[in-house]
Structure 1
Amino acid sequence: MATDTTAEEEQVGFADLDLDAELVRALSALGYEEPTPIQREAIPPLLEGHDLLGQAATGTGKTAAFALPVLQRIPRDRKDGLPAALVLVPTRELAIQVSEAVHRYGTGLGIRVLPVYGGQPIGRQLRSLERGVDVVVATPGRALDHIARGTLRLDGLQTVVLDEADEMLDMGFSEDIDAILENVPEERQTVLFSATMPGRIDSMARRHLSDPVRIQIEREAPAPGEAPKTRESAYVIRRAQKPAALGRLLDLEAPEAAIVFCRTREEVDQLSETLNGRGYRAEALHGGLSQEQRDRVMGRLRGGTADLLVATDVAARGIDVEHLTHVINYDVPSAPESYVHRIGRVGRAGREGVAITLAEPREHRQLKAIERATGRKIPVEMVPSVADLRARRLELTRAALHESILEDEDLERFRVVVENLADEFDVMDVALAAVKLAHETGGAAIDEEEIPEVAPLHRDKDRSRERGRGGERGPRGRKGGGGPQRGMTRLFVGAGRSAGIRPQDLVGAITGESQLNGRDIGSIEIADRFSLVEVPENAATDVIGALRGSTIKGRKPTVRRERAQTR
């Protein structure tokens, strides 16, 4: 059984979906005027009791799409106190959000909702379960814990919802979910929502869903001539210059709130420290933080005392920040699904969001893979120049002064200062000095160093031949040994065969971090504990600097000119 979401939809209100009057009134009081596409498609079959497999991104309204039918199907005269519905979610934050939403929708029904997650005193959860609840919203690990204790009984369960199923699988909850579903009644309704539909989601659906209605809701396409709601762009930049490039982009974009995604917790800590040192209000979020620390970080972000969240993928899962305007990939995500999840946090409810990706030259292929998976071109743009920054700062100063003139009723007390100065100087000179003073006190000093343009790394047949085929021949096809060729110098790299270093690793590192290409690199000699590689003399200093800020096969080896060579 499947639904066709491509046909034009008639104007449908919540009352047209056969929802109870109490639910319609609650939605009206919350300001919900009409259902979103996922709600229009999902609510009717769920009210009829069908299983459902839905693909919908975060921010499309899927919580209400499953919560409203769940609430309506709970019998009002239940006495046993056992949960009628179990909603499984990947993270604590999402458990809280979903339970709060279910509580708001069911205000007039007297429905009891309990979020169950790790990091909260289990005694409170035990007492609530003992008193009786109607809906449990849980992370898989804590749900299994309660099932094992016998404190979460699933005998009376009517509906199971797997929300953000792909995220739960990415976080390693597949076995936990299977174990939980072994403890639920066979005669139940199962609902699965996922932002992406990889093969393992389809496999899970085949195991646990019975003849499901299948719904796929794409993000609403912009009208002809309109800009998309999420503006995507990429900047190709060497790793050593990423912090400076990120700072410039933040200055130009001036996000209301942004998440900057990094690969590792070490990178999160280092980058957040760098950003704070540059005057931004940044908070770090990763798996090494306690629950109390996580709560403080999220409180600062939601309260506006921080405007940047630097986070790993896993730590940020399930986080939903209402006023988020920008998502920045400090590294290209390793999987297109991760990219889709990250940028799905912005561009909601008709507001424009911005998704920025900082790519190293060697990550060009990963960008192309994302474009193929999403069916969208990601424009590669130039990193803002010093002139761009100056123009942006001047525009911000002009806007601030314009707003002050329009809105500030307390300007009159400064008239005497202007009149006194006007006796001595031209009024235009007075105004220029005042603007200069406001401009210089309104922002940090501009980094005057230009960031060079870097071309993406393209690999072709010539490049594949250059990357060290035929044992340890260099890209020029010459065996190592002897002195460097004319115009070349030999670099010492403190890693060799014992570290798994191959010629192509060195060529890839140099071409990825510098402006050289494969044809520029001379012979390569790899010993057990070190390697020697020839590069053009006039580029040697740049290559050494670039390689010192990068890793080769997970290591940061010593890189310097070979001491034995004479010049």
Structure 2
Amino acid sequence: MSQQIPEIAMVNGDDVSLNGEIRKKKKSKKEKKIKSDDAEIESPSKEESPSEEKPKKKRKKGSDEEGEDEIKKKKVKKEKNGEVQQNGIVKEKPSSSKQGEVDEETQEKIGAFSNFGIRPKTIEKLHAKGVKYLFPIQAQTFKPIDDGFDVIAQARTGTGKTLSFVLPLVEKWQQFPQKSGRQPIILALAPTRELAKQISEYFEAIGPHLSTTCIYGGTSYWPQESAIRRGLDVVVGTPGRILDYIRKNTLDLSKLKHVVLDEVDRMLDMGFAESVEEILGAAYKTGQPGDGEEAPNNPQTLLFSATVPPWVYQTAVKYMRKDLKKVDLVGRDRMKTATTVQHLAINCSYFDRPQVISDVIKVYGGLDGRCMVFCETKRDANELAMSSDVKQETQVMHGDIPQTQREVTLKGFREGKFQCLVTTDVAARGLDIPEVDLVIQCNPPRDVDSYIHRSGRTGRAGRNGVCVCFYKRQEERDLQKVEYKAGIKFKRVSAPQPSDIIKSSVKDVTDLLGAVQPEMVAMFKSAAEAIIAEKGAVAALAAALAHITGSTAMKTRSLLTAEEGKTTFLLETQSQLLDIGDVFKTLGRYIDRDSRNAIKGIRLCKDQTAAVFDVSDDHKDYLLSLWQDTSEAQLTVAAELPELLVSTQSGSFDDRRGGGGYGGGRGGGYRRGGGGGGWGNRSGGGGGRGRGGGGGYGGRGRGGWSGSYKKF
């Protein structure tokens, strides 16, 4: 009889047909639903039929070309559903608990090894890896996997997905005949070599009685072929090299009992779809049984990922049984990233970025904290790693680095031999390095899923972490898109200031002083006494601390753009500032033209009763000498960046690039016209000299800087 592929798979409680249509599922009385810790394990009813379902419109995927109105609507909805906390994390309303989250004490009881019948020898090995109890995703998938069900599991990054499938499979295969030349019973596929190697290491650590081999490209064929000929129990690898061995009849998958696809969405998204299909075809009888047919004797299939879009289900369902179990610890929760990660955003130019990154590592990572920096391209990664502005010991890793060197680099980073790893997305997924304190993303990624996985390199296994995303003014909308789709809220912060760096560095150095052996201290006493006699005890120690921390020169930096040699001022008023023109008007009453021209990058604060702007250091004191505080307006040097009004609008009194002139609303300065009105004129469109921009200096019409009336 012909076998039929099921038309429906479940996605977060909805049904997804193979043509991509999402339908709301109508629950039947015979459907089983098991709830555990607010996460759901669902088993679809065999009596469901498409005719019983109500159609539901498919939500259109967002794109970079979404209109401003669309983003505003989405943002309003988001602010209604969540409350933005100071640390940059969205907290849902108290009445709605996050799926799968319980306090540590409760989870320790739920995840106790005794609840799962895990053997004492395995528990010893788990303790050796620092595992004291099972995390939610591990606890909730153990029984379905142990019972032989196909499983699709989704959980946030850093929650222990690798151990979720390794542990029950190792427990299932404790004792069986060891024959030379035997075919593997477990196949685990991963999108990258690094993740494949990590999975292999887990199998070797938890199940040393199983013969495990990791297969991937970039290395010699001979050792891998030799291991296959000797006989294997577990094969872990990337699709490309495994497919090579299948085509050469070197690897026989006919005896497989379990197939694991880890980070399945990335694997298919990277172009491995056809390779994965061919690999699975070597071990599966595709399709599902029809009425009266027996189910094909396919291996148990396990899919794990942090993000599982509907098209992943559509592809995977061809090889999975109807009674598959879905364990979803993310569900409809808007926040897709780990809840232990703090999300910060820093506005910084590309030129200033290397030095600011170095300072960010000092403040948020400390002297010995480990940091991962993600770049968009291999070239960017190489340039940043080689930059003299990055003071920390740094290594680079990307696809052009030979595999053997990548393994050495990753091992050194895990062991803490260097502080900073600069990399591309090759290290964004699956790698388990719990001690990473800080993740830096040099740009808002084009793909929001990339942000989720990159940020997931920190805040793992219950630890707290920080993710800092750098952006430029023109990337503000990209940042908003990440906020909406990842369900987070960035806290916009300034680049670290000298006071921040000194405070952080002194604390680290103070902690390290206690590590110096008394014998070594005695050797420096005579020199210390001489310096104290010359400079005094406090002055001498202060100078020593400054030198140790690398703070030998005080450099100011803009809170707005991180540009050196700029000071950020805060203008506070008693009246509402409707636009940048109101800021110009207020400042213009008290300062002369030279000071006005020195003001750059005006931004309104969120409450619209204050504004911030930058002034070059050589004009700072002069500006303060001219200004006189009144009951209506006060001007001070900003100590920290206030919450800003999210807008692409900024301006200066003399902005060559457009974006506001003296009295201008949305326009350029007097030299090129570039945008809205010039001196005294608040309206106008865009454009440059002679190209129909808003009125420039002295121009009242829609022309360029000469006041031309040429229209758009």
Within-5 A mapping of 1:63-462: 63-74=162-173, 76-77=176-177, 79=179, 81-107=182-208, 110-186=209-285, 187=297, 188-210=299-321, 211-218=323-330, 229-255=340-366, 256-274=369-387, 276-314=388-426, 316-401=428-513, 403=514, 408=518, 410-416=520-526, 429-443=536-550, 445-446=552-553, 448-451=555-558, 453-454=560-561, 458=646
How far has the Cα of 1:24 moved from its partner?
A: 4.1
Residue 60 of structure 1: aligned partner: 159
Structure 2 residue 114 is the aligned partner of structure 1 residue 15 = yes
Please give the root-mean-square deviation of Cα atoms over the aligned residues, in Å: 3.7
Question: C-alpha distance in 2, partners of 1:157/1:518?
Answer: 71
Residue by residue, what CA displacement relative to the aligned partner does 1:502-541 show, whole Å, maximum 9, x if unpaired? xxxx98xxxxxxxxx9968544678xxxxx9899689xxx
1:180 & 1:103 partners in 2: Cα distance? 23
Question: Deviation at 1:366?
Answer: 2.1
Q: Does 1:489 align with 2:588?
A: no
Native 8 Å contact 1:53 1:212 kept in 2? yes
- Quote the residue 1:4 is aligned against: 35
Which digits, 9 at most, give the CA deviation of each residue in 1:72-97, with x for residues without a partner?
33461364611111000111122221
Structure 1 310/536 Cα, relative in aligned 2: closer, same or farther at 3 Å?
farther
Matches within 5 A, 1:503-542: 522-523=687-688
Contact 1:2 1:213 in 2 (8 A): no
Cα distance in 1, alignment partners of residues 216 and 317 from structure 2? 27
Cα distance in 1 for residues equivalent to 2:241 and 2:470: 37
CA distance in 1, matches of 2:668, 2:350: 30
CA gap 1:410/1:241 in 2 versus in 1, 3 angstroms: closer
Listed as ranges, the gaps of 5+ residues in structure 2 are: 1-31, 39-101, 286-296, 562-602, 604-643, 651-657, 661-666, 676-681, 699-704, 706-712
CA distance in 1, matches of 2:645, 2:239: 42
Structure 1 letter corresponding to 2:225: L
Contact 1:522 1:535 survives alignment (8 Å): no
Which residue identity lines up with residue 177 of structure 2 in the other structure? Answer: D
Cα distance, 1:412–1:18 mapped onto 2, change above 3 Å = closer
Question: Higher mean Cα deviation, 517-526 or 366-375?
Answer: 517-526
- In structure 1, C-alpha distance between the alignment counterparts of 2:151 and 2:120, rounded to whole Å: 24
Specify the code of the residue in structure 2 equivalent to 1:264.
T
Who is 1:495 aligned against?
Answer: none
Q: How does 1:43-54 map to 2 (within 5 A)?
A: 43-54=142-153
Structure 1 counterpart of 2:558, which letter? I
Q: Identify which range, 300-309 or 362-371, moves more after superposition.
A: 300-309
Take 1:164 and 1:56, find their aligned partners in 2: how far apart are those partners? Answer: 11
TM-score, scaled to structure 2: 0.60
- Provide closer, same or farther for how the CA distance between residues 212 and 408 of structure 1 changes in structure 2, counting only shifts above 3 A: farther
Distance in structure 1 (CA, Å) of the matches to 2:683 and 2:304: 47
Whole-Å separation in 2 of the counterparts to 1:123 and 1:116: 11
Residues 233 and 378, structure 1, Cα contact 8 Å, conserved in 2:
yes
Matched positions, count? 480
Shift of 1:316: 4.6
Deviation readout 1:410-437 (Å, 9 max, x if unpaired): 4345555566677x66xx8134224313
SS in structure 1 of the partner of residue 110 of structure 2: coil
Alpha-carbon distance in structure 1 between the residues aligned to 2:377 and 2:486 = 25
Question: Could you tell me which amino acid in structure 1 is paired with residue 171 of structure 2?
Answer: Q
Structure ranking higher on relative contact order (CA contacts 8 Å, 6+ apart)? 1
Is the 1:89–1:140 Cα contact (8 Å) retained in structure 2?
yes
CA gap 1:245/1:457 in 2 versus in 1, 3 angstroms: farther
CA spacing shift, 1:68–1:319, aligned 2, 3 Å? closer
SS of the residue aligned with 1:133? Answer: coil
* CA distance in structure 2 between the aligned counterparts of 1:436 and 1:278, rounded to whole angstroms: 23
TM-score normalised to the size of structure 1?
Answer: 0.75
What's the secondary structure of 1:453's corresponding residue? coil
Change in Cα spacing, 1:15 to 1:277, as seen in structure 2 (3 Å) is: same
CA distance in 1, matches of 2:267, 2:156: 15
User: How far, CA to CA, are the matches of 1:377 and 1:231 in structure 2?
Assistant: 9
Residue number among 6, 16, 27 corresponding to 2:126 in the alignment: 27
CA contact (8 A) 1:39 1:61 kept: yes
Distance 1:134 1:3 in 2: 33
2: CA distance between counterparts of 1:393 and 1:12? Answer: 39
Change (3 A) 1:350 1:320: closer
Query: Higher helix fraction: Structure 1 or Structure 2?
Result: 1
Deviation at 1:307, TM superposition (A): 1.4
| Distance of aligned partners of 1:17 and 1:287 in 2 relative to their CA distance in 1, 3 Å threshold | same
Q: Following the alignment from structure 1 to structure 2, what is the Cα–Cα distance between the partners of residues 351 and 316?
A: 18
Q: Which residue identity is paired with 1:230?
A: V
Shift of 1:160: 0.4
Would you say the 8 A contact 1:83–1:134 is kept in 2?
A: yes
**In structure 2, how many angstroms separate the alpha carbons of the residues matched to 1:63 and 1:382?**
37
Query: How far apart, CA to CA, are the structure 2 residues paired with 1:304 and 1:29?
Result: 19
Paired amino acid for 1:49? G
Letter in 2 for 1:453: L
8 A contact 2:342–2:466 mirrored in 1? yes
- Contact (CA 8 Å) 1:475, 1:523: kept in 2 or not? no
CA–CA distance in 1 between the matches of 2:124 and 2:496? Answer: 50
